[in-house]
């Protein structure tokens, strides 16, 4: 699939989803991990690189295939909250006030059921860098659960490269597949910008504007969308049908000033 292809089957999103070659490769590799029942995969990318969008797409694809899937953002979750969310999403019978012992017993029972039914389960954890050490230890315990092994449980952990050290050697040693999202190229940036809604006004970006947009955003989709959207508004406000490099740089400088004064 080329850089300019827009997904029509993905879950509704606030922004258009451009399925770039790197996105498609990452998606395929995560699907490979699940299809082969591998225990642990790692998805890495800078903040704003599209990790959450990719995970949501994988999650929806697995659900369409009737695969039991738990997608959880682990930021600031206590161990009890994490296990309860996973248990609920994997359709285990749990109560909100259960303690860790009860939650682990329920999960083990559920994995035993899945083993008997020969069904697979996938747990997708986003923002592992914002999890507490105790919560990460319970994720490690999940990977070592005997019943989970027999039930073909696969885990996908997502975070930034700088946060990898927080996982510890005990989890990193279990990683069977690592996927890294690279920064977007100029061509991919152009495809994303061209997919933006025009709000009833045809505003296009010059070639140089696209190049500056890619450079100033660091090739991160979230930053590209933010800068492009503001540049579109600036062009509309001046009655211009073309966003040029100067407009992109002006918007970028304004954002930098606001960030410094915040």
Q: Which pLDDT score, from 0 to 100, does residue 256 have?
A: 67
The interaxial angle of helices 207-217 and 186-194, nearest 10 deg, is 110
Residue 243: phi and psi, rounded to 5, are -90, 120
DSSP the chain: --TTPBPSSSPP-SS--B--HHHHHHHHHHHHHHHTT-SEEEEE--TTSSHHHHHHHHHHHHHHTT-EEEEEE-TT--HHHHHHHHHHHTT----TT--HHHHHHHHHHHHHHHHHHT--EEEEEE-GGGS-HHHHHHHHHHHH-HHHHHTTEEEEEEE-GGGGGGGHHHHHTT--EEEEPPPP-HHHHHHHHHTS--TTS--EE-HHHHHHHHHHHTT-HHHHHHHHHHHHHHHHHTT-SEE-HHHHHHHHHHHHHHHHH-
Mean pLDDT across the chain, nearest whole number? Answer: 87
Query: What's the full length of the chain, in residues?
Result: 262
Instruction: Give the C-alpha separation, 82 to 231, whole Å.
Output: 40
Task: Identify the band that residue 10 occupies on the pLDDT scale cut at 50, 70 and 90.
Answer: very low
Q: Which pLDDT score, from 0 to 100, does residue 257 have?
A: 46
Task: Identify the band that residue 160 occupies on the pLDDT scale cut at 50, 70 and 90.
Answer: very high
Which tens digit of pLDDT belongs to each residue from 64-99? 999 999 999 999 999 999 999 999 999 999 999 999
pTM score: 0.85
Q: Which CATH class is domain 186-257?
A: mainly alpha
Which tens digit of pLDDT belongs to each residue from 60-72? 999 999 999 999 9
Domain with CATH 3.40.50.300 in the chain: 21-180
Domain with CATH 1.10.8.60 in the chain: 186-257
Q: Which pLDDT score, from 0 to 100, does residue 201 have?
A: 65
Question: Going by C-beta distance under 8 Å and a sequence separation of 6 or more, which residues neighbour residue 171?
Answer: 40, 136, 139, 140, 143, 157
- Residue 89 near residue 70, CB atoms below 8 Å: yes
Q: Which pLDDT score, from 0 to 100, does residue 196 have?
A: 81
Answer CATH for 21-180 from 3.30.530.80, 3.40.50.300, 1.20.120.610, 3.40.50.1950? 3.40.50.300
Which tens digit of pLDDT belongs to each residue from 239-253? 888 999 999 999 999
- Residue 26 near residue 50, CB atoms below 8 Å: no
Range 142-170 average pLDDT: 87
Range 37-48 average pLDDT: 94
């Amino acid at each position: 699939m080329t850089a300019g292809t827009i997904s029509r089957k993905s879950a509704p999103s606030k922004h258009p989803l451009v399925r770039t070659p790197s996105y498609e490769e990452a998606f395929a590799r995560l699907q490979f991990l699940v299809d082969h029942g591998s225990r642990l995969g790692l998805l890495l990318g800078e903040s704003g690189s599209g990790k959450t969008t990719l995970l949501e797409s994988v999650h929806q694809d697995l659900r369409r295939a009737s695969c039991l899937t738990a997608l959880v953002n682990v930021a600031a979750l206590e161990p009890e909250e994490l296990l309860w969310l996973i248990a609920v999403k994997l359709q285990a019978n749990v109560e909100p006030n259960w303690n860790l012992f009860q939650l682990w017993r329920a999960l083990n029972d559920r994995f035993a059921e899945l083993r008997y039914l020969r069904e697979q389960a996938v747990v997708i954890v986003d923002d592992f860098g914002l999890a507490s050490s105790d919560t990460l230890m319970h994720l490690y315990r999940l990977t070592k659960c005997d019943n989970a092994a027999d039930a073909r449980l696969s885990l996908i952990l997502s975070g930034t490269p700088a946060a990898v050290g927080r996982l510890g050697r005990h989890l990193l040693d279990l990683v069977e597949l690592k996927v890294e999202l690279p920064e977007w190229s100029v061509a991919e940036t152009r495809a994303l910008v061209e997919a933006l809604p025009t709000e009833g006004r045809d505003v296009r970006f010059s070639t140089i504007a696209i190049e500056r947009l890619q450079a100033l955003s660091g090739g991160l989709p979230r930053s590209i969308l933010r800068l492009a959207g503001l540049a579109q508004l600036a062009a509309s406000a001046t009655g211009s049908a073309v966003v040029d490099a100067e407009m992109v740089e002006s918007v970028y400088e304004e954002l930098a000033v606001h960030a410094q004064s915040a």
